[in-house]
Structure 1
Amino acid sequence: MRILIIHNFYQHKGGEDVVFAQETAVLRDKGHQVETLSFQNKKGIKGLFQFLLYPWNSFAAHKVLKKVNDFQPDVVHVHNTHYAIGPLVFRSLCKRKIPVVLTLHNFRLLDPSANLFHNNEVFTDTIDKEFPWKSIKNKVLDNSLLKTFWTAFTIYIHKKLGTWKDIDRILSFSEFGKQLLLRSTLQLSPQNIVIKPNFALESSESKHIEKKDYFVYIGRLSEEKGIESLLKAFSECEHIIHIFGDGPLVEKVKQASQLHPNIIYGGFQQKETLDYYLSSSQALIVPSIWFEGMPMTVLEAFACGTPVMASKIGILEEMIQNGKNGFLFEPNDEKSIIDTIHNWQALSIDDKNVISENCKKDFSDTYSSQKNVLLLETIYKEAIQQTNNK
């Protein structure tokens, strides 16, 4: 199969870039002819020009069509388009009857915030509204009235033009995400929304690492990630946690580590170090208080047989089955976190081993690269068939 994969890079590297690179690699390994076309958000005047073109970027669309003419792909798979590409590319491809697949890495189609989180709480007020005036008033995107309005306008104008409905397959990470899309005013067909999770690569080293008596947090140190409730929980118990990452709350984490010897801050580390602590820990803790996309750390934990303790919110409630591959606790509730840890510690070694094996099985069945590439192939064939039937 000839596959063109398109992606727009933000100014700072993110999880979307990892998914783009991994999917490209596994498709090539499977023998498909894969070419990529990437764009990059710029700073300064160039960045402003890109952003102003966001609703109707004919330059980006022309560049994509030129690549299509040169490569003649069977299907085009688009990842991020914000904001150097823009939605016009979908109209251009559909007009040429090129099968198109879009991966939704966030909730930008539903609200300019992209994360449905504002003022330290989940913000879903505008999902079922025709135009997100409340989001604009609240300046939910980078605290900017202009950015929020222009992004909202871009999504809105293409909703009115039917752009989003013309995409052959829209990929959502979870049933939770799919239902949010169907609740919205986008008027998408359920048939065109397909659940396709991310995947992680299995580490052979994890099989030989002995479990230690500590827990681990890996990720951004910010309010939406539930860092404050995590610190409160471990400041009130004797269990050990290793925290890795960086972000706006890094100083608060450092202060907590100085006051409480069981809270150990490891800073930003390379993947090899993170893999070791993830494999050797009792559990990965994910205390998010917002709707995650699909945390790669959860998949990596499952791959090495490490259970996940997570907030009962959004996709996490779908990924974690209580007592099977981990445990759920109430969001933003330190007592619930502590109780969950105590429940885990009270289990027998045999029970813990069963949960660990369940994690590995879930990874193999759902989140492995082998399963992922098979699912992608099926999705591409369906998109091609749908385009042929138009």
Structure 2
Amino acid sequence: MKQQVNSKDQVMLLLDSRSHGGIETHVLELATGLSGSGQSVSVCFLCRYDQPHPLQDLLEHQNIPVNYFDGTLSATLNYIKFTNPTVLHTHGYKAGIIGRIAASLLKKRVISTFHAGEIGSGKLRFYDWLDRYTAFLADKRLAVSQDIAARIPFVRVELVRNFINTRTLVPSRGKQIAFVGRLSAEKGPDRMLDYAKALPHLSFHIYGDGPERARLEQSAPGNVTFYGFCNMKEHWCDIGLLVMPSRYEGMPLAALEALGRGIPVAATRVGAMEQLISNGSNGYLVEEANHKLLSAAINTWHSLTEENRQEISQAAIETVERGFSVDAVLPSILEDYRKTA
């Protein structure tokens, strides 16, 4: 792919990724917002996996340059030398580790955003540890929740809000009770089956894929429908209530996508969820240890009058527009870049 040298105030966003999830959506929204504000920005993937990344077409449609490295420190060093960005902004474990080392060697300014709330196991656990214990190499450290910030040792970490572009969102008039996300233990999709069994008169819809999918489909009751990985832009309009029974979270973009469309969220109080959800106003919030109470919250929402649903829907939209939209959050990120550079 052709390499493009941008202006001297270029921001390079670096991540290691092979699929489209929460971190990737954050980077897409950030790159699009920066480009729309007139900031020169490129997105670089630490490694090219089997196919072009799912974000590539979306980024290039916005005229945002996309490049791939070979996963090594030397390739990262060479590209940073070639493009000479003013600020490097890393996202995720491996990109954070390699990006900070490269920036330190080249005396470049670097910001790192920490997204993951779960600790993981095996190799992932090691990367998480190394990511946190090399955080001191960054000029500025950001985390999407207080829980994540508290796990980074020795250094100051500031909170940054995830955000979405609300300008083109259309309010949903759907009725589905849905889970949207990766089907892995930390997201709690297994708990959706408990709620479906407790509320057999309701239908439940699960959007997403992941390591737990086969097991979940085998044990799911008949009132649960699985859709696999989807382009959610085509499905948000069908959803009336988003259920997020997570064991660990940062600040999930799925919740912002839902709230921004007027879809209330029923969630466990993990990560930054309490910054988003006001219980009974724009959704429902229960303690993670008492996640089974979400079945009562689901039934409460189902029993609302149309007038009450409109009220909770409007409160959801206002939450995102006030505190989690491009217009609300991007100015502080641009100021971070200015101060760091």
Structure 2 stretches lacking a partner, 5+ long: 1-7, 51-69
Kindly indicate whether residue 334 of structure 2 is the aligned counterpart of residue 377 of structure 1.
yes
Q: Does the alignment pair 1:187 with 2:187?
A: no
1:284 aligns with 2:296: no
In percent, how many aligned pairs have the same letter? 23
Q: Can you give the 5+ residue segments of structure 1 that lack an aligned partner in the other structure?
A: 44-49, 108-114, 118-139, 385-390
User: Deviation of residue 326 (structure 1)?
Assistant: 0.8
- Could you tell me how far apart the structure 1 residues matched to 2:93 and 2:48 are? 10
How far is the alpha carbon of 1:173 from its aligned partner?
Answer: 0.8
Cα offsets for 1:299-358 (capped at 9, x unmatched)? 100110111000122322333221222111343656412221233345444443222112
User: Could you give the per-residue CA deviations for residues 12-53 of structure 1, whole angstroms, max 9, x where no partner exists?
Assistant: 44332332233122211111122343321669xxxxxx88x7
1:63 aligns with 2:78: yes
Match of 2:119 among 111, 116, 120: 116
Which residue does 1:167 correspond to in 2? Answer: 138
Residues in 1 aligned to 2:173 and 2:15: alpha-carbon distance in whole angstroms: 40
Shift of 1:91: 4.5
Residues of 1 paired with 2:14 and 2:258: CA distance? 27
Partner Cα distance (1:172, 1:350) in 2: 38
Q: Which residue of 1 aligns with 2:10?
A: 3
Are the counterparts in 1 of residues 192 and 245 from structure 2 also a CA contact under 8 Å?
Answer: yes
Q: Which has the larger radius of gyration?
A: 1
Structure 2: how far apart are the matches of 1:166 and 1:33?
24
- Alpha carbons of structure 1 residues 94 and 255: separation in structure 2 relative to 1, 3 Å: closer
Change (3 A) 1:203 1:27: closer
Q: Is the 8 A contact 1:176 1:318 kept in 2?
A: no
* 8 Å contact from structure 1 (residues 243, 264) kept in 2: yes
Structure 1 374/383 Cα, relative in aligned 2: closer, same or farther at 3 Å?
Answer: same
TM-score norm. by structure 2 comes to 0.79
Aligned residues: 314
User: What is the rounded CA distance, in whole Å, between the counterparts of 2:146 and 2:130 in structure 1?
Assistant: 26
The aligned counterpart of 1:178 is 149
Q: Whole-Å Cα distance in 1 between the matches of residues 119 and 32 of structure 2?
A: 31
Q: What residue in structure 2 maps to residue 19 of structure 1?
A: 26
1:230 corresponds to which residue? 192
Q: How far has the Cα of 1:246 moved from its partner?
A: 2.0
Partner-residue secondary structure (3-state), 1:363: helix
1:298 alignment counterpart: 255
Question: Take 2:128 and 2:210, find their aligned partners in 1: how far apart are those partners?
Answer: 27
- Per-residue deviation at 1:363? 0.8
Counterpart of 2:112 in structure 1 is: 102
1:322 to 240, 260, 279: 279
Q: Which amino acid aligns with 2:122?
A: L
1:6 shift after superposition? 3.4
Structure 1, residues 141-177: CA drift from partner, whole Å, max 9, x if none? 25xxxx755x478458xx4xxx532422111112332
Counterpart of 1:137?
Answer: none
Q: Which of the numbers 329, 341, 345 marks the counterpart of 2:298?
A: 341
Letter in structure 2 aligned against 1:105: H
Contact 2:259 / 2:320 at 8 angstroms: preserved in 1? yes
Paired with 1:271 and 1:166, the residues of 2 have a C-alpha distance of 37
2-side partners of 1:91 and 1:267: how far apart? Answer: 37
Please say if residues 173 and 237 of structure 2, whose CA atoms lie closer than 8 Å, have aligned partners that are also in contact: no
- State the match for 2:178 in structure 1: 216
Contact 2:11/2:42, CA 8 A, preserved across alignment: yes
Q: Distance in 2 between matches of 1:205 and 1:380?
A: 28
Secondary structure of 2:339's aligned partner: helix
